[in-house]
Amino acid sequence: MAKRIVRMVEEPEPIYRETLTPEKMKELETRIYRLLKEGVALEDTPKILNLSERDAARVLQKMEWLENSDVFMIQPLIEEKREIQTQLKKIEASLQIGAATESESELFDQLQADIESCATQMGRKTEQLRTVEDEMIRLEKQVREIETEIEQLYEKHHLSKEKAMFISECDAIAGLLSQFIVRLRKNKIHLLQERTFEMYKRLSSKSGLIKDITIDETTYEIHIIDKNGHEIMKSGLSAGEKEVFAVSLLWGLAQTSQVSLPIIVDTPLSRLDSTHRDNIINHYFPNAGEQVIILSTDTEIDTDYYRTLQPCLSGAAHLDFDKGRELTTIQSGYFWEA
């Protein structure tokens, strides 16, 4: 209690003019303690502060106020505050240490996410594998049942020699048909190559740079070979060359299949230069098929091209848009024939 009284005399602001030395402070604390303990009257105690009556009155008034207040609860709170600040500093230090390994934490989170993703994929693949295994079991059972039925049929009927010869002949015919299909496929592929390359040479302005067009017999992949024997990647062709190649392939397919089908061509000349346009107008459209429908703008099939195609045309029409009615109608005749 004596120490608290002395601190309150000094803090937050001394109530006397002279600053006490540590020895004086200690002596004051001892005497206050003795007075509190023995109850000795203040007049019997020797003066050690040399305070004026006004300062002494202020000290006594302050001491009485301290005795009746809860100010002595401040010190435990201050001590608790210091402990909390110490703990905060420790926590901040630990957080700073953890910040140094932030990259490791991110790496760990990434690895954790990858592990979870792999686990999910493994679960899906496991389920797919289980489904495939079930299907294999079902098919194997079906094969065994069919084999059993065949064996039972052979045992039941005891195939005669004539029937056996018939089956043998059927097997031979099936083998010949398989060979015929293989040869026919090769011939068709070879014919498709020839017809496609034939039209490509007519239409392309770079036909002199192309030596051949080949089609793989197994994958049906198409390869364009230049005059040096190197393959030209189709992705390296211009938009116009790609369209010419596609038109040539359609021509080759139509000629190879020998099936008369109507052909509809939508805006065929929009991405082509004048040379390619002339080639398609003169060589492809008149020979594309028995029935060819060309959906064109007036800037693609202009007056000259229309005059060139007119002997091969059975009719022409154009679409007329009425802005007032917001309606499109079909009108007979080409744009300038309306």
Question: Could you give the CA distance from residue 153 to residue 164 in angstroms, rounded to a whole number?
Answer: 13
236 lies in a domain?
no
Domain boundary among 113, 139, 158: 158
- Is 53 contained in some domain? yes
pLDDT of amino acid 84: 72
In a domain, 238, yes or no: no
> Would 332 be classed as within a structural domain?
yes
Determine, yes or no, domain membership for 49: yes
- Output the pLDDT for position 40: 46
The pLDDT assigned to 119 comes to 75
Residue 147 lies in a domain: yes
State residue 42's pLDDT score: 46
- Domain end call among 113, 131, 158: 158
The reported pLDDT for the residue numbered 134 is: 85
Determine the Cα–Cα distance for residues 198 and 195; give it in Å rounded to an integer. Answer: 5
pLDDT at 218: 82
Contact call for residues 312 and 285 (beta carbons, < 8 A):
yes
Query: Into how many domains does the chain fold?
Result: 3
Maximum Cα–Cα distance for the chain, whole Å?
Answer: 151
**Same structural domain, 65 and 106:** no
Q: Same structural domain for residues 63 and 116?
A: no
The verdict on residue 248 lying in a domain is no
Whether residues 110 and 150 fall in one domain: yes
pLDDT grade, residue 303 (50/70/90)? confident
Look-up of token digits 């029409």: 317
Tell whether the model's pLDDT for residue 276 goes beyond 80.
yes
- Domain containing 25: what range? 2-69
The contacts of residue 232 (CB under 8 Å, 6+ apart) are: 210, 224, 225, 226
Q: 116-138 pLDDT, tens per residue? A: 777 787 778 778 878 878 888 88
Per-residue pLDDT tens for 127-185? 887 887 888 888 888 888 888 888 777 777 665 666 777 778 888 888 888 888 888 88
Residue range 70-117, pLDDT digits in tens: 555 555 656 766 777 777 777 666 655 554 456 766 766 777 777 777
In the chain, which ranges are continuous DSSP H helix? 2-10, 22-38, 53-67, 74-99, 102-157, 161-203, 239-257, 274-279, 303-309
